[in-house]
Amino acid sequence: MKLKEITLHHFRNYDDVNMQFSPGINVLLGNNAQGKTNMLEAIYVLALTRSHRTVNNRDLIEWQSDAAQIYGNVAKHLGDTKLEIDLGKKGKRAKVNHLEQAKLSSYVGELNVILFAPEDLSIVKGSPSVRRRFMDMEFGQMSNQYLYDNAQYRKILKQRNNYLKKLQMKEASDHLYLEVLSDQLAAYGSKIIFQRIDLLKKLEGWASNIHAEISQDKEKLQFKYVCALKKKQLTDIDNIYDGLLNLYTNNRDKEIRQGNSLYGPHRDDLQFIINKKDVSTFGSQGQQRTSALSVKLAEIDLMKEETHEYPILLLDDVLSELDDDRQTHLLKSIQDKVQTFLTTTSLSGIARELISDPKIFNIESGTVSEEK
């Protein structure tokens, strides 16, 4: 898929702007705090209906305005699709070909994006919540079922945690209702864990090959899904369901004392291993960055495999964080393969010979001009 054009009205520091893009590499050039990242954010919001930088919609609206709109025209194998996101005081609305979508989950997947920013290098060494968010955001784009199951799980998790707090405070005493919530949580949790393991296995296959190429076959990258269940319990959804339900039953008093759900996909983690050692603990900074790069590049191929369309790649000032070898590998990997949007303050530090005919946009204070 390719994003042919985008139109912004009152989004961040953009008043009214329309940009028509190259199907190859698009460079957003300008000094810091001019709006380069805001443009990538607009593309991200157009794809996922949410920002990667804030949870407050008000932050996305130009400060003098009450609402913002993002319009996009996406080219796919089956034809063009017009997308629209409206942000206002009453929340957000998403439209596909001018038809409003009743559920945001039915909208996500119309435009698939992979964002790679400097903070994504922390996917390896960051907290477990970073990796959980990574799995949920990326796998949700690849599978509407995963997106639905995760939304339901979050809803029930909130209800269960609220009830555990009531039991903790002696404001409730009905353990039968807790059992009902536990059953529902285990049902959706088992589906999420099973899908994660399946997609991670596929992602590992792509990432391992990329990592081996970058490291010149000196290193082997592997993934390990970390959870409270034993490996033999992770073979199918039914076994995972039984395992989660047993955890909730056997640890009921403990969860009531803490007023919180202590087991399930919201507590799980993903471990990256190089040559049988945990990269986050024992890996060098170079190994951590190579692992993160390998994972991000692997996402491109996995998303193509799962959705039959290549995603759009957003590179937010990430080239400045990579050394020459990793930068070269990244640019060679995306050349003539995926539509790419790249922000930078200068083209001088980029291996220009690796970028074929880029379309360059100069951005200054929310104003865009195309370089001829």
Q: Which residues are annotated as a binding site for ATP?
A: 30-37
Q: What's the CA gap between 110 and 78, in Å, rounded?
A: 12
Edge-to-edge strand order for the sheet containing 269-274? 221-226, 269-274, 277-278
Q: Which residues pair with 370 in a beta bridge?
A: 361
Q: Which residues pair with 92 in a beta bridge?
A: 87
Contacts 24+ apart (CB under 8 A), 280-287: 280/124, 280/125, 283/124, 286/323, 287/219
Residue found under tokens 């899908």: 195
SS (H, E, C) 199-248: HHHHHHHHHHHHHHHHCCCCCCEEEEEECCCCHHHHCCHHHHHHHHHHHH
First to last CA, the chain: 25
For residue 247, CA distances in Å to 8, 203, 240 come to 49, 29, 11
Looking at residue 215, the DSSP 8-state letter turns out to be T
Query: Binding site membership: which residues?
Result: 30-37
Which among 356, 315, 316, 308 is positioned nearest to 332, based on CA atoms?
356
